[in-house]
Chains A and B, each alone.
Chain A
Amino acid sequence: MTAQISYDDVEVGTELPAQSFPVSRATLVRYAGASGDFNPIHWNEKFAKEVGLPDVIAHGMFTMAEAIRVVTDWAGDPGAVAEYGVRFTKPVIVPNDDNGALIEVSAKVAAKLDDDARTVRVDLTAMSAGQKVLGMSRAVVRLA
């Protein structure tokens, strides 16, 4: 496994390039098919509202999949991710219009964990419509 970022080149506080990920109803239908999660709260507005949601919401696992792209794009090798965890704090609400929603992800190196294993902890922040949608979002990455 070959991360393209060297452990020696990062410091606590190093920021990873931030990214924004658009999500539309069509995105959610495609993700439902690929993941096998067909819960109607992710594609059926009537159903979502009946169970008390403001509108269709994105799969939490979709948001989790987008957020880690900031880390995998930075590290160069997705296989460099040794641990990844999140808390689903707020749903990403996806209106049925031309814009859909935007998931905005930033990340920084929060700790250098192990000089021998060359692992760092990256803390992620994922926002949508001004709300923090993931909490305690952290990855452990094995660098070169």
Chain B
Amino acid sequence: MALDQSFVGRTYPATDPYEVGREKIREFAEAIGDSNPAYTDAEAAKALGHPDVIAPPTFVFAITFKAAGQVIEDPQLGLDYSRVVHGDQKFAYTRPVRSGDRLAVTSTIEAIKTMAGNDIIDIRGEVHDEAGEHVVTAFTKLVARRAEEA
């Protein structure tokens, strides 16, 4: 069943801040096998002009996707999450995420479409730091595959 178009433009309340930890960045960098010292060595990060270690570019998805759960699990929207696959992902950075950041996410439904029976939903997650400065915007496209005909 097609999703309700009236949800387009809806913005959900900002999430409680997520505090980015040095060891969480290290764990993520190790999980992707990336030994870039900017992720683990504060001096190396400072040599590049950053105040502390920075996170790999896709690290922030764990935070924005959790925030997108407000949309995905909104019972009024009625998305069937068991049929959802990740279609597209894009990030636009003002600056990299870094250790010590306290990041809040505001999620907005940008578009809802139905194509060939699949529901497609675009969610924009605006990430701000504790000072209210913009850090990164995450654009997430989710596709809820059509239920199989019985």
Closest residue on chain A to residue B98 by CB atoms: A79
Report which B residues bind A (CB closer than 8 A).
24, 27-28, 30-34, 36, 38-39, 47-50, 54, 56-58, 61-62, 65-66, 85-93, 95-96, 139
B88 touches A78 (CB 8 A): no
CB-CB under 8 A for A65 and B93, given A31-B31, A33-B31, A35-B31: no
Classify the secondary structure of B's interface with A: mixed
Inter-chain contact total with CB atoms closer than 8 Å: 106
Contacts of A66 in B (CB 8 A): 32-33
CB-CB under 8 A for A1 and B50, given A21-B33, A87-B87, A88-B86: yes
B48 touches A136 (CB 8 A): no
How far, in whole Å, are A31 and B47 apart by their CA atoms in the complex?
Answer: 28
How far, in whole Å, are A33 and B49 apart by their CA atoms in the complex?
Answer: 30
- With a 10 A CB-CB cut-off, give which of A31, A77, A79 has the most chain B CB atoms: A79
Q: Which 5 A-B pairs have the closest CB atoms?
A: A85-B90, A34-B31, A79-B96, A65-B58, A65-B32
Q: Is A83 an interface residue (CB 8 A)?
A: yes
How far, in whole Å, are A64 and B140 apart by their CA atoms in the complex?
Answer: 13
Contacts of B34 in A (CB 8 A): 65, 69, 72
Q: Is A61 an interface residue (CB 8 A)?
A: yes
